[in-house]
Amino acid sequence: MQRRESLSTGSTLVWVPHEKQVWKKAQVIQRVSEFEVEVSLVTDDASDAHDPEDGIVKRYDVREIAKLAGEVSATAMPICNTFGKFGVPDMCTLNHLHEPAVLKNLQLRHALYVPYTYTGQICIAVNPYKWLDLYRKDLYGKYLELPRGDLPPHPFALSSSAYIDMQENGIEQSILVSGESGAGKTETVKIMMNHLASISGGGDHGSLVIDQVLKSNPLLEAFGNAKTKRNDNSSRFGKFAQLQFNAEGLLVGARCETYLLEKSRVVGQAEGERNYHIFYQVFSLAHEIKKTLLLDGSVGDYTYVRVGEGSRVDDIDDSEYLQETKDAMDTIGIDYREQQGIFEVVSAILNLGELAFKAESSDTSSVLSVDRLQAIGKLLQTDDGALQRILTNRTMAARGETFTIPLNAAQAEDLRDAFAKGIYSQLFDWLVARVNNAICSTHRNVKHHIGLLDIFGFESFDHNGFEQLCINYANEKLQQKFNSDIFKTVQTEYIAEGIPLELVSFEDNQPILDLIEGRMGLVDLLNETGVLAKATDAAFVGKIHEAFSTHKYFEKLRTNPMQFKIHHYAGDVIYNGENFLDKNKDTLPPDMLELLASSKSPFIRDVFPELTHDKPNKPGRRQGFLVGATIANSFRKQLGELMEQVAKTTTQYVRCIKPNANKSAREFDRQMVVDQLRCAGVIAAIRISRAAFPNRLTLHEFGKRFDVICPPKLRHAAPEAMVLGLLEKLGITDSSSQNAKFAIGKSKVYFSSGLLQYLEEQRTAVLRKQAILIQSHMRGRAKRKQFLAIIQATRTIQKFVRGWIARRRWHVLCQGIPQLQSVVRGFVQRRKFRVLLHKARECNRLRMLAEANAQLALSVQNHVKRESEEAPIPPRAPPTPTALGSPYFNGEIPDSPKKRYPMQPTSSAVVSAKVRDDMAKSVEEAHAMAEQARQAAKEAMQLNAALQVENEQLKAKLTKNAREYADEDLRQENERLRAQLAMLQSKIIRADEVALLSAKVVDSRLTYRDGKQFVEYKLQIETNNRGTLFVWHRYSTFRNLATTLQTKNGYARKDIPELPNKTLFNNFTDKTVQERVEKLNAFLDAATKADYLQWGIRIDAETCVYKRRVKGSTSGTSSYRDSMMSRDTMVTAIPTGGFSPTNSEHSRASISSGPSSSKEEGSSLLRRSFFGRSKR
């Protein structure tokens, strides 16, 4: 195998066989040869799950696929159809009709709870395993009034069609319902019977007949239905119910015929199955009635009903169904005396199963359980001695003489079982006769019948015996009728379309029927072998091997000489010839019949009337009790009569399908459904319906689908001209010969096998070329669109990258701005400082200048004074400081520390008024500059104050941040200490719990509880604080304890003693039990002293005593407490409030002074620290 990743989307989809899914979709890659094709597996459209096989390329033989799919041609591939959500209601409308298409359509409809689908005139019913709202009475009239195609598929459509055809054309009708056990055959028949009974009416008499007809179903189900592995209410007999109608179409009566009751179920059932329902319903009778019936036990006390061990069925109340059975008896007209007689016969059969025999010698036997024999005689009202004689002896007649042959114990048991089966079979036939007497109309006004056949479907098991041969023989007969009807349907369609009938033919299954029922066939050879004195099953199988060694449908198996194979229409079945002769016998010894006919009970004599009169026996099933009659003969005769009746009717078919074996409403087992479709003949019907022209299309669909390969001039032509022109262009022109490739009808065109597939291949090739062109344009468009998207995405990415870069630069700038601001602020401050410094220096210069001026003035004054002293001149007062300007010089400027130099005296002529004015002006300027210097000093003081405020703010912020960081560290430390405290507190609590010091077993006993027996042992347990405790424990407790110690603590399994359980307890002596208990005590003592072991024993619902594992020292409790105290003294109060220097210092002081704190104070502080407040 190889895997191919990509395939052309225009490839043809086909179905190929699959191991798990039966059929799986695949794409055709190429035809390797004429008979070999290469495909790639693909996922089904309806499947969401990924299949690992999807994409795998495989090769298949086309001939094998065509044979499995039901294709007519040996080289035709099953092409996939296109389905809607609900599939198609009629599968004949599918363009490609084959097995995978049928399976796919049924699966789609089952998933949506649509159980019914048509295949032409066949209705396929898939059991939904849930009651659907599809059977309302308002639908009765709709299906009777509206055309079949206007409503969804339904059994009502079949019953309505049968009723209308009977009314309008006066033709007898029959509806054949088949399917395997559990597929819903009986329910489908009841649904259609209810519908027919309701739409036919009939007034008061009709209502009574309807009630009797409907009530006959639960009565026959009670005596003919049983629980099997596949179905809780499986019909173990075939039933053909004929509803009787008068000329006006009113229901006036009914008649029921039964076939092949499974008598062997009376005396034995497979595991998980039950006997017939009535055997369980009698146990629901009142206690007084059961006492009269001599039923002194429950279901589990009787062999015939406990063999299969399936006496109980979920959701089935036998008492409720018993009342329904009794109501049906009342409706049918079975009086109290007859009902009592029926229950007596059922009880007699149950007591027969308890009848045991003992061997008197190697060839003789006698009844061992005499009380059971007397009970049977009382119930059947026969002589006990005669009953014992006929059960232990066999009577034979030869040459006019009668011989009595004694039987051994085994032969007597076989005769007892045969007696029970014969009684029950005759009771069932009597019930059927009573039902017919009650509901069958004997008046001449019965004009029409509608028959409903409920019969077993085709069966093929691992072991197939006589019963399966009879059932499959009946299905072969029905299939022959089915094939004939389907062929007639095809003929009708071809006539309507104007197609010559000589083009149609089909293969019959008559050779298989000749093999079974023909002259010297299987039935004749079986009867012939059975009459021989020393006949054996091996002799019978040898005869058929010799007679049919060259037969086309028979095969001898070399692996087992007792087996043979028959090629049935539904598949090959291997039969085992063992017990064929015994099962074919339908006789009872004459003395048994005489005993029952001579019963004192009128009811028994009525049930067994054969020997009460010296008259020839009546025909029917009661001939089965005559010597020489065989089941195969009687069944062949019944089946022939049935087919004669059905052949006179218009027949419709319902095929019931079981979707899964789990009775699930959702599950759909594809393999199981396919097997049933093949067994039901649906695939064979498809093969017949499509024998000549397996594929068909309406003319409109043909033109719509294949116009792409038509020449342009034909695309607008008439449909017939388009078909002829296209096929002529492809080289296919012959449509009238016997080997015609196609045929054109009035509304459809029919294709021979392979032609439609050839047209599909041509269409696929054209579509593939166009698809490649479209794909190239779409890929180019997609690439261009992708390129534009990439350009747009690139621009978007660039935009975001540019934004990211800008934001990153902004963040860098934001981080540099504080540094720049600090530099700028420093620069500004330095500049201001330089201005202030310059002003200060200027003030100093002005002060020095003022001092110099003062010195000059003083010198001038002194000089003037000296001159005045020498030559008196009017004195002039020197300028005062106030006169010189501002009071700034009032002692605020200290004297200049510089050295003063004497000045040379100046003549008075030099000092003039102009000089004095200049000096006064200089003093004024010095005063103004001093004022400016003072203002600058004031501004400098203000700037210094602002800088101090900013410094204080930064200092406060730094202090706050430091406090927050310290609070977070303390909070984390507080949380860590809380966790440690919680752990230590849990250890103290655990150290104070009840601890196990020693344990030993002191007593043992057997106890009963809820009907069960247990072994219990009494334990004496010594604890640390609860004293001595006593408790009883079951045996399982010690087994669990031993397993725990073994798996978790490494204790050697061989050292654990095995105590006696409930099985061994009674078999051991007291000494043995005591020795085991002593060993257990030694084991418990060792397990208690071992420090590495940990285990516990439950005392009551609230107390469990543990023996803990010790780590290190054995004084675990004191170590835990010492550890707790040391931790408690080490960890003191940690405040939960905000950080402050005071709190921080207090915390450090508290931690450093830990050992000096008292235990009570430390604990109180610890609680305050962890819980926020003190708890007293």
Q: Which of 269, 47, 229, 135 is nearest to 663 (CA)?
A: 229
Identify the domain boundary among 1107, 1132, 1151.
1107
Residues 6+ away with beta carbon under 8 Å from 200 = 163, 206, 243, 245, 249, 250, 251
Annotation says 64 is catalytic: no
Is 10 among the annotated ligand-binding positions?
no
Question: What's the token pair of residue 419?
Answer: 């007696």
**Is residue 967 a part of any domain in this protein?**
no
Q: Classify residue 499: in a domain, yes or no.
A: yes
Does residue 305 sit in the same domain as residue 336? yes
Are 646 and 521 contained in the same domain?
yes
Of 117, 186, 225, 246, which is the active-site residue?
186
Q: What's the gap between Cα 250 and its chain centre? A: 49
Same domain as 472, residue 426: no
Q: Which of 160, 181, 475, 753 is catalytic?
A: 181
Summary count for the chain: helices (H), strands (E): 34, 29
Task: Tell me the two tokens of residue 735.
Answer: 């449509």
Asked if 424 and 464 sit in the same domain, the reply is no
Dihedral sign from CA coordinates of 1156, 1160, 1165, 1170: positive
**Is 1047 flagged in the annotation as binding?**
no
DSSP string, 857-874: HHHHHHHHHHHHHHS---
Q: From the CB of residue 392, how many other CB atoms can be counted at a distance below 10 Å?
A: 21
Active site (annotated) includes residue 36: no
Please tell me which residue in 40, 159, 194, 234 is annotated as part of the active site. 234
Residues in the chain, total: 1176
**Do the domain assignments include residue 964?**
no
Burial environment of residue 187 by CB neighbours within 10 A (0 to 12, 13 to 18, 19 or more): middle
Query: Does residue 347 lie in a domain region?
Result: yes
Q: Which of 1077, 1107, 1137 is the last residue of a domain?
A: 1107
Q: Which of 457, 530, 703, 754 is catalytic?
A: 457
Residues 729 and 209: their CA atoms lie apart, in Å, by 67
The 3-class secondary structure across 267-280, one letter per residue, is CCCCCCCCCECHHH
Q: Mean pLDDT per segment of 10 residues, for the chain of length 1176 residues?
A: 38 85 88 85 68 84 81 74 85 83 92 91 90 89 87 94 90 91 87 88 66 83 88 86 90 88 87 90 92 89 75 70 92 92 95 91 87 93 91 78 85 90 93 91 85 86 89 89 80 80 68 92 92 86 93 92 92 92 79 88 86 42 46 89 90 92 89 87 72 76 85 82 84 64 84 77 86 92 94 93 92 84 88 89 86 84 77 50 41 44 46 66 76 76 80 78 74 82 72 78 79 80 84 76 62 60 66 79 79 78 76 44 40 36 38 38 32 33
The model's pTM: 0.59
283, part of any domain: no
Residue 459 among the catalytic residues: yes
- In this structure, the answer to whether residues 636 and 497 fall within a common structural domain is yes
CB atoms within 10 A of CB 641: 12
Segments in 992-1115 forming alpha helices (H): 1035-1049, 1070-1089
One of 182, 308, 745, 885 is an active-site residue; which one? 182
Q: Is 624 one of the catalytic residues?
A: no
pLDDT at position 326 is 93
Residue 369 designated active-site: no
Q: Are residues 464 and 431 in the same domain?
A: no
Please say if 234 is a catalytic residue: yes
> Are both 327 and 434 inside the same structural domain?
yes
307 and 411 part of one domain: yes
624 is in an annotated binding site: no
Question: Do 582 and 483 reside in the same domain of the chain?
Answer: yes
Q: How many domains does the chain have?
A: 5
β-pair type (650-657, 122-126): parallel
Give the C-alpha distances (Å, rounded to integers) separating 270 from 179, 267, 464, 1093: 21, 11, 14, 53
CATH number for the domain that contains residue 724: 3.30.70.1590
- Give the closest residue to 473 by CA, choosing from 650, 236, 619, 260: 260
Q: Is 183 annotated as a binding residue?
A: yes
Q: Are residues 376 and 483 in the same domain?
A: no
| Backbone torsions φ then ψ of 447, nearest 5 degrees | -110, -35
Beta bridge partners of residue 405, listed in sequence order: 394
Cα dihedral sign, 713-715-716-721: positive
* pLDDT value for 801: 93
Concerning whether 1140 is annotated as a catalytic residue, the answer is no
**Same domain assignment for residues 506 and 643:** yes
**In what order do the strands lie in the sheet containing 251-259?**
116-119, 122-126, 650-657, 173-179, 448-456, 238-245, 251-259
The reply to whether 235 belongs to the active site is yes
Do residues 749 and 708 both lie within one domain? yes
In this predicted structure, what is the pLDDT of residue 1158? 40
Residue 328, domain member (yes or no): yes
| Residues of the domain holding 709 | 695-753
Task: Let me know if residue 380 belongs to a domain.
Answer: yes
Residue 163 has which token pair? 């009723």
Burial class (CB in 10 A: 0-12, 13-18, 19+), 1152: exposed
Say whether 181 counts as a known binding-site residue. yes
Interior angle at CA 987, CA 983 and CA 992, nearest 5:
150
* Local structure of 199: helix, strand or coil: helix
Among 686, 721, 753, residue at a domain's last position: 753
> Hey, what amino acid is at 93?
T
Whether 297 has a binding-site annotation, put simply, is: no
184 labeled part of a ligand binding site: yes
Q: Is residue 293 part of a domain?
A: no
Cβ-contact 105, 117 below 8 angstroms: yes
pLDDT at 735: 57
